[in-house]
Amino acid sequence: MQMTMRWFGSKYDSVTLPQIRQVPGVTGIVTTLYGKKPGELWEEEAILAIKQEVEAAGLKIAGIESVNIHDAIKTGHPDREEYIKNYITTLERLGKADIHMVCYNFMPVFDWTRSNLAKMRSDGSTVMSYDQSIIDKIDPNDISSAMESQANGYLLPGWEPERIGKLKELFAMYKGIDEQKLFDNLVYFLEKIMPVCDAYDINMAIHPDDPPWSVFGLPRIVTSKEKILKFIKAVDNPHNGVTLCTGSLGSNPKNDIPAIIHALKGHIHFAHLRNLKHESPGVLEEAAHLSSDGSLDMYAITKALYDAGFDGPIRPDHGRAIWGEVSMPGYGLYDRALGCAYLNGLWEAIAKAHCAAQCAQC
Ligand SMILES: [Mn+2]
């Protein structure tokens, strides 16, 4: 595995590449052209510029998170052909720049959703949290201003104001789109892009829905082991894979994450590791990465990745806001650096125990 951190680019991120370079064991970042709208073509020059900037800091681009999918592709609108063409060209340009992993999601209208971006915990840190009863009371038209007002002045990933500003149109586009149609549109998209992924060895890593259930009545299809296996099997190609996000999948306590990892062996191209604490059904908050701070067994999850032969990038995903740091919610330096150190420690212990057990056998 390769330990990485997410970085949004020098214009958008409070954390710098030289800071990331000093986190022990971190050799790469995952990034994006953050100003790009879903569906927009990525220019070669822009891709090479960010690559050079990252490499000049002594790091590597381990993958892109994300190249976002236009709603015409998700809804199967006739315009999708044009947007798929753009997507293929962007993938081709990324492949030529020696970038081989692309994260994306297939969530209708809204990307990730939270009810609170700065919930105070007993130790004085703040975390992002989710309470279904609060979401149920929010008009979908008000959710973006509720999220934006808590974003510390940063642009939130997946909440592009131009797109979210047209919520009525967006909801109208998804009228009549049920789970089956969304699934068919995902399969259609994947079949179209697999040839370019084969040509440039690009691993596509779909991000699970966050949270993994329907929000505001919109369909969601990347929510459980069974549903993920359905589209992995529908487009039978090793480049058709997932981002194993423990926080998103783990929001539903019924998702057994080590079992999901084993079921998806060979199709996990990227891992987001974080912990969360379940309060009651539909009520949860993010936690420090340490197993004992939340409800997920991070040792069992890391061991399952190791045992499944996972060799892609891992990132510590969201962190708490600690030590007075002000950043984009979830993306401060301090707690994610602690997360890297902890996850590197788990990985080293698991790898060495595995080697010792093998030596004992021979
Ligand atoms: Mn994630």
pLDDT at 164: 80
Q: Using CA atoms, how far apart are residues 127 and 118, in angstroms rounded to an integer?
A: 5
Q: State the distance from the centre of ligand 1 to the C-alpha of 262, rounded, in angstroms.
A: 19
How far apart are the two ends of the chain, measured CA to CA in Å?
A: 26
Is-catalytic flag, 318? Answer: yes
With H, G, I as helix, E, B as strand and everything else as coil, classify residue 246. Answer: helix
Question: Are residues 212 and 224 in contact, defined by beta-carbon separation less than 8 angstroms?
Answer: yes
Q: State the distance from the centre of ligand 1 to the C-alpha of 8, rounded, in angstroms.
A: 15
Q: Is the peptide bond before 211 cis (omega within 30 degrees of 0)?
A: yes
What's the domain count of the chain?
1
Query: Which whole number is the average pLDDT over 109-136?
Result: 93
Query: Which whole number is the average pLDDT over 181-191?
Result: 98
Q: Which residues contact 277 (CB under 8 A, 6 or more apart)?
A: 284, 285, 286, 287, 293, 294, 295
Query: Which whole number is the average pLDDT over 124-130?
Result: 96
Query: Is the pLDDT reported for residue 60 higher than 80?
Result: yes
pLDDT at 144: 82
Q: State the distance from the centre of ligand 1 to the C-alpha of 79, rounded, in angstroms.
A: 29
Q: Do β-strands 313-315 and 2-6 pair in parallel, antiparallel, or remain unpaired? A: parallel
- Catalytic residue (one of 103, 197, 245, 340): 245
pLDDT at 162: 79
Q: Which strands make up the sheet holding 283-287, listed edge to edge? A: 116-120, 126-131, 283-287, 275-280
Q: State the distance from the centre of ligand 1 to the C-alpha of 317, rounded, in angstroms.
A: 6
- Catalytic residue (one of 70, 100, 207, 269): 207
Q: State the distance from the centre of ligand 1 to the C-alpha of 103, rounded, in angstroms.
A: 10
For residue 282, report the phi and psi dihedrals to the nearest 5 degrees: 80, 5
pLDDT at 263: 98
Q: State the distance from the centre of ligand 1 to the C-alpha of 207, rounded, in angstroms.
A: 7
Is-catalytic flag, 317? Answer: yes
pLDDT at 110: 85
pLDDT at 360: 82
Query: Which whole number is the average pLDDT over 95-106?
Result: 98
pLDDT at 145: 84
Q: What is the CATH number of the domain that holds 38?
A: 3.20.20.150
User: Which amino acid belongs to residue 228?
Assistant: I
Is-catalytic flag, 272? Answer: yes
Q: In the beta sheet, which residues pair with residue 31?
A: 64
CA atoms within 13 A on the CB side of 24: 8
- Catalytic residue (one of 197, 272, 289, 340): 272
Question: Are residues 64 and 101 in contact, defined by beta-carbon separation less than 8 angstroms?
Answer: yes
pLDDT at 165: 80
Residue with tokens 């789970």: 179
Give the confidence band of 230 by pLDDT, cuts at 50, 70, 90. very high
Closest CA to 214 of 272, 294, 135, 267: 135
Q: State the distance from the centre of ligand 1 to the C-alpha of 266, rounded, in angstroms.
A: 19
Give the confidence band of 141 by pLDDT, cuts at 50, 70, 90. confident
Q: Using CA atoms, how far apart are residues 308 and 80, in angstroms rounded to an integer?
A: 36
Q: State the distance from the centre of ligand 1 to the C-alpha of 273, rounded, in angstroms.
A: 8
User: Which amino acid belongs to residue 86?
Assistant: N
| Stated length of the chain | 362
- Catalytic residue (one of 104, 318, 335, 342): 318
Q: State the distance from the centre of ligand 1 to the C-alpha of 355, rounded, in angstroms.
A: 30
Query: Is the pLDDT reported for residue 270 higher than 90?
Result: yes
Please write the tens of the pLDDT for every residue from 287-330: 999 999 999 999 999 999 999 999 999 999 999 999 999 999 99
Determine if residue 14 is left, alpha or beta; phi over 0 gives left, psi from -120 to 50 gives alpha, anything else beta. alpha
> Domain of 279?
2-361
Query: Which whole number is the average pLDDT over 249-258?
Result: 97
Tokens of 8: 């949004």
Query: Is the pLDDT reported for residue 202 higher than 80?
Result: yes
- Catalytic residue (one of 83, 200, 306, 331): 331
Give the confidence band of 235 by pLDDT, cuts at 50, 70, 90. very high
User: Which amino acid belongs to residue 287?
Assistant: A
Query: Which whole number is the average pLDDT over 239-265?
Result: 97
Average pLDDT, the chain: 95
Query: Is the pLDDT reported for residue 362 higher than 80?
Result: no
pLDDT at 52: 98
pLDDT at 142: 84
